[in-house]
Structure 1
Amino acid sequence: MASQMTEMLKGTLEGIVLAILAERPAYGYEITTELRERGFTDLAEGTIYALLVRIEQKGLVSAEKVPSEKGPPRKVFTLNPRGRQQLDDFWSTWNLLVSRIDSLPHPTTPKKGH
């Protein structure tokens, strides 16, 4: 099941990160920590940093170097209007997909003891 989760996550991770940035600006390590706290424990930091580079190149976020008390400046990402539109599109697509998947027949989880 882990590989199936990884494959599904690949297609949705951009939207998930944009959703986190919709809450507040953040830098890479903060985003990774937030994801892990929300149950995405198998994500490698490198995956998030690569995704941040891609969404910055696509013009979905603004980035600003902010001084750090510990070490070099941090690159803080902020969702911009184009990123907010992309996030809105992500949620619309997600909701449509969920409704279609929910309409498919699927076995229920058997109850213990039966």
Structure 2
Amino acid sequence: MHGTVVCVDRSQLLKGLLDIIVLRVLADEDAYGYEILHRLRKAGFEELGDATVYGTLRRLFKAGHLSTYVMPSDAGPHRKYYALTATGRTRLRAMREAWEDVSGKMRALLDSPEKG
């Protein structure tokens, strides 16, 4: 197996992190769909597809973690903005705590010497 290049599909890992990623992107400022995609891409999540992100927004809205409102736009049709609800902020805090716990354990595990 030495010298073999293994390609890792990050999409499965990201699927489990979509909620925290989207909630975090909206934590500082409300945004409409395209703006959310832009923020995600700027943060390095270029591989997240538009349909995946919009599906996550709909799911988080249905769960009560996001609210929406419509604003007029000078550049075309009205835009639907997404905002965190109090429940969404609570969910983000809980997810962040879980992430810190799991990522700390993973770092310790990955940094430990491999026995082979």
Q: Report the TM-score range of the alignment, normalised by the length of the smaller protein.
A: 0.7 to 0.9
Q: Which runs of 5+ in 1 are unaligned?
A: 109-114
Q: Which residue of 2 aligns with 1:39?
A: 44
Correspondence for 1:112: none
Cα 1:43–1:2 change in 2 (3 A) is: farther
* 2:99 partner SS: helix
Question: Counterpart of 1:57?
Answer: 62
Deviation at 1:105, TM superposition (A): 4.3
Distance between the aligned counterparts of 1:105 and 1:42, measured in 2? 25
Identity across matched positions, percent:
36
The structure-2 alpha-carbon separation of the partners of 1:20 and 1:94, relative to structure 1 and needing over 3 Å to count, comes to same
Cα deviation digits, residues 36-58 of structure 1 (max 9, x gap): 11111112111111111110000
Q: Please tell me the root mean square deviation across aligned C-alpha atoms, in Å.
A: 1.6
Structure with the higher strand share, 1 or 2: 2
Q: State the 1:80 CA deviation.
A: 1.1
Gaps of 5+ in 2: 1-6
What's the TM-score, normalizing by structure 1? Answer: 0.87
Alignment of 1:1-114 (within 5 A): 1-3=7-9, 5-106=10-111
State the Cα deviation string for residues 58-103 of structure 1 (Å, max 9, x = none): 0001100111112221110111100000000110100110111122
Matches of 2:85 and 2:25, distance apart in 1? 13
Residue aligned with 2:80, SS: strand
Query: Could you tell me the TM-score, scaled by structure 2's length?
Result: 0.85
Count residues in correspondence. 107
